[in-house]
Amino acid sequence: MNMPQIKPITYDPSAATIAEHGLAADDLAKLAPQLDAARDEVLADAELWDAGGDVPAKKQPLDAGFMELPQRLLAEYRARRDDSELGRILSTARRLRESVDRVVVLGIGGSYMGARSLMEGCCHPYHNELPRGERGGVPRMYFEGNNVDNDASQGLLDLLRGTDDAWAIVVISKSGGTLETAAAFRQFLAALRTSVNNDEKLIAQRVVPVTGSSGRLFDLSAALGCPDVFPVPDGVGGRFSILSAVGLLPAAILGLDVVRLLEAAAAMNARFKDAPVGDNPVLDYVGVSHLMERDHGATMRVLSVWAKGLESIGLWYDQLLAESLGKTEQHGATPLTVLNTRDLHSRGQQHQAGRRDKLITNVIVEAWRRDPLSIGISELDQDQLNVLADKTLPEIMTAAIAGTNKAYAEDGRPTTDLRLPQLDEASLGQLLQMLMLATVVEGRLIGVNPYGQPGVEAYKKHMNAFLRGE
Ligand code: PA5
């Protein structure tokens, strides 16, 4: 596939190699045979899935469809343009951009965290506050159906009822039966109905469902006559679905370059397949994280993000890792996203001097999108900042990262650095695919099926029983 140059993201684990509490210089190389075997298994899973072969019982469930998804969507788009799935996503996004000024995305877990992380990663930080022109002519976006918080839902309904702006709903649920999302859909659909004076045609046009090929939401969409319904493809589980319509449709509505996002993910797939341990961000990240957990008790994985736009990506990853590997009572490190420098003032003390159960992975953006903002000179120098007047926020951030890494190294706290050239679609596509691949590789390495989330069923069953008085 002929793809434009993507500046690669990098993973540098050298600061995890420290005496006593960290790795020895050759630890990762020694683990290479097991990492290679886990990669082979993951690639074989993807091939098996693509070939539609029988999945052996011990591999069930096998949602390996996410791996080849970027290449498949791009190839189809290049061959069939408007008739392809991506072509349809782009044209529905265009239709919504042109007809409404607000979009409510309903979904929970894997059915909304990806879309939110793409919005926060790539849009203006105050996107929803800006006038349409300054938003690049794209709608405001809100997320609901991810809780049953009465006042939060009422708050959003207040906002929608109080505006003359046209608005639409993108409702996302793979199963189509998740109570939080289903209840919100009913409530927001009623509000939408009122806002369009019960115009059935407009209602159908202003609801875009993303769901499995059967189920309650699928049936509701048919009953509403929605012209555009998108699939969560078979073999793509909720938390692995960010690069399907689940994440791509909201991203395209926001005007993000979803083609670039997919190209970047495909580039990460190619690196994953070909590069050896020591030069492979997926295998190196898994190897270092696993060794720190196995040999040094680092059961906490701290994803330390150094840009506000990355916090939601951290939360998306928390969900991905926790639901995928937290299964057998013994395995599955606990993920924790921290946003720095903010959380240095809340969690920093513990990470510096608390229990030695953490591996810190920094996620660092190398180039900021906007011009650097300097502190500036002031006649009032009581704060004694004139001496730093020329320093910019990027310079202060760089010093904070270096200072924190140095302080952690002095206390024998292992850290690693994931570096993104920019906070944009090219970097995020690589990062998202890298973290999804890493999660399944680690699952195969430790013998935990990364797909499915049987543990979550228990709360659903009990909640339903309480509600229905069973
Ligand atoms: O990763 C997962 O599969 C889950 O987090 C689901 O995305 C979440 O439970 C929502 O499920 P559904 O899309 O079926 O409503």
CA of 309 to the centre of ligand 1 (A): 23
245 and 352 fall within a common domain:
no
The β-bridge relationship of strands 167-173 and 140-144 is: unpaired
pLDDT of residue 150: 98
Q: Which two tokens stand for residue 207?
A: 């609801």
| Distance from C-alpha of 191 to C-alpha of 210, rounded to nearest angstrom | 20
In a domain, 4, yes or no: no
Answer yes or no: 331 catalytic.
Answer: no
In a domain, 454, yes or no: no
| Distance from C-alpha of 313 to C-alpha of 335, rounded to nearest angstrom | 12
Residue 364 structural domain: 10-48+276-448
300 and 233 fall within a common domain:
no
323, 351, 358, 442: the active-site residue: 323
CA of 245 to the centre of ligand 1 (A): 14
152 and 233 fall within a common domain:
yes
**Residues 6+ positions from 272 with CB-CB distance below 8 Å:** 39, 280, 281, 282, 283, 433, 434, 437
280 and 331 fall within a common domain:
yes
pLDDT of residue 456: 83
pLDDT of residue 425: 98
Q: Would you tell me the crossing angle of helices 150-161 and 179-195 to the nearest 10 degrees?
A: 20
- Give the chain's domain count: 2
CATH of the domain at 148: 3.40.50.10490
Q: Identify whether 131 is preceded by a cis peptide bond (ω within 30 of 0).
A: no
CA of 107 to the centre of ligand 1 (A): 8
Pocket test for ligand 1, best of 62, 105, 178 (most atoms within 8 A of CB): 178
297 and 185 fall within a common domain:
no
Can you give the pLDDT of all 470 residues of the chain as single tens digits?
555 689 999 999 999 999 889 999 999 999 999 999 999 999 999 999 888 888 999 999 999 999 999 999 999 999 999 999 999 999 999 999 999 999 999 999 999 999 999 999 999 999 999 999 999 999 999 999 999 999 999 999 999 999 999 999 999 999 999 999 999 999 999 999 999 999 999 999 999 999 999 999 999 999 999 999 999 988 999 999 999 999 999 999 999 999 999 999 999 999 999 999 999 999 999 999 999 999 999 999 999 999 999 999 999 999 999 999 999 887 789 999 999 999 999 999 999 999 999 999 999 999 999 999 999 999 999 999 999 999 999 999 999 999 999 999 999 999 999 999 999 999 999 999 999 999 999 999 999 999 988 888 888 889 988 989 88
Pocket test for ligand 1, best of 148, 174, 239, 456 (most atoms within 8 A of CB): 174
363 and 216 fall within a common domain:
no
In a domain, 3, yes or no: no
In a domain, 54, yes or no: no
Closest ligand 1 atom to the C-alpha of 246?
13
Task: Indicate which residue's Cα is closest to atom 9 of ligand 1.
Answer: 109
Closest ligand 1 atom to the C-alpha of 175?
14
The one-letter code for the residue type at 300 is M
Task: Indicate which residue's Cα is closest to atom 2 of ligand 1.
Answer: 238
Q: Of 199, 225, 256, which residue constitutes the final position of a domain?
A: 256
3-class DSSP string for 99-131: HCCEEEEECCHHHCHHHHHHHHHHCCCCHHHCC
Answer yes or no: 120 catalytic.
Answer: no
170 and 297 fall within a common domain:
no
Q: Which residues line the pocket of ligand 1, CB cutoff 6 A?
A: 108-111, 173-175, 178, 181, 237-239, 323, 453
Pocket test for ligand 1, best of 62, 146, 175 (most atoms within 8 A of CB): 175
Q: Of 256, 287, 319, which residue constitutes the final position of a domain?
A: 256
Cβ atoms of residues 303 and 363 within 8 Å: yes
CA of 233 to the centre of ligand 1 (A): 13
3-class DSSP string for the chain: CCCCCCCCCEEECHHHCCCCCCCCCCHHHHHHHHHHHHHHHHHHHHHHHHHCCCCCHHHCCCCECCCCHHHHHHHHHHHHHHHCHHHHHHHHHHHHHHHCCEEEEECCHHHCHHHHHHHHHHCCCCHHHCCHHHHCCCCEEEEECCCCCHHHHHHHHHHHHCCCCCEEEEEEECCCCCHHHHHHHHHHHHHHHHHCCCCHHHHHHCEEEEECCCCHHHHHHHHHCCCCCEECCCCECHHHCCCCHHHHHHHHHCCCCHHHHHHHHHHHHHHHHHCCCCCCHHHHHHHHHHHHHHHHCCCEEEEEECCHHHHHHHHHHHHHHHHHHCCCCCCCCEEEEEECCHHHHCCHHHHHHCCCCEEEEEEEEEECCCCCCECCCCCCCCCCCHHHCCCEHHHHHHHHHHHHHHHHHHCCCCEEEEEEEECCHHHHHHHHHHHHHHHHHHHHHHCCCCCCCHHHHHHHHHHHHHHHCC
405 and 316 fall within a common domain:
yes
| Distance from C-alpha of 330 to C-alpha of 452, rounded to nearest angstrom | 17
pLDDT of residue 3: 55
The one-letter code for the residue type at 155 is G
For CA atoms 290, 296, 301, 306, give the dihedral sign: negative
21 and 147 fall within a common domain:
no
Closest ligand 1 atom to the C-alpha of 319?
5
pTM over 0.85: yes
Rg, the chain, Cα only: 23
Buried residues in 406-423 as b, exposed as e (16+ CB within 10 A): eebeeeebbbbbbebbeb
How many C-beta atoms surround the C-beta of residue 215 within 10 A? Answer: 16
Q: Which residue has the tokens 């408007």?
A: 82
Answer yes or no: 58 catalytic.
Answer: no
In a domain, 435, yes or no: yes
Burial class (CB in 10 A: 0-12, 13-18, 19+), 98: exposed
39 and 165 fall within a common domain:
no
Closest ligand 1 atom to the C-alpha of 108?
10
| Distance from C-alpha of 164 to C-alpha of 170, rounded to nearest angstrom | 19
CA of 232 to the centre of ligand 1 (A): 11
The one-letter code for the residue type at 198 is N
pLDDT of residue 4: 64
42 and 71 fall within a common domain:
no
Which residue, among 337, 348, 335, 346, has the nearest Cα to 401 in the 3D structure? 348
172 and 307 fall within a common domain:
no
CA of 414 to the centre of ligand 1 (A): 33
In a domain, 455, yes or no: no
In a domain, 334, yes or no: yes
In a domain, 333, yes or no: yes
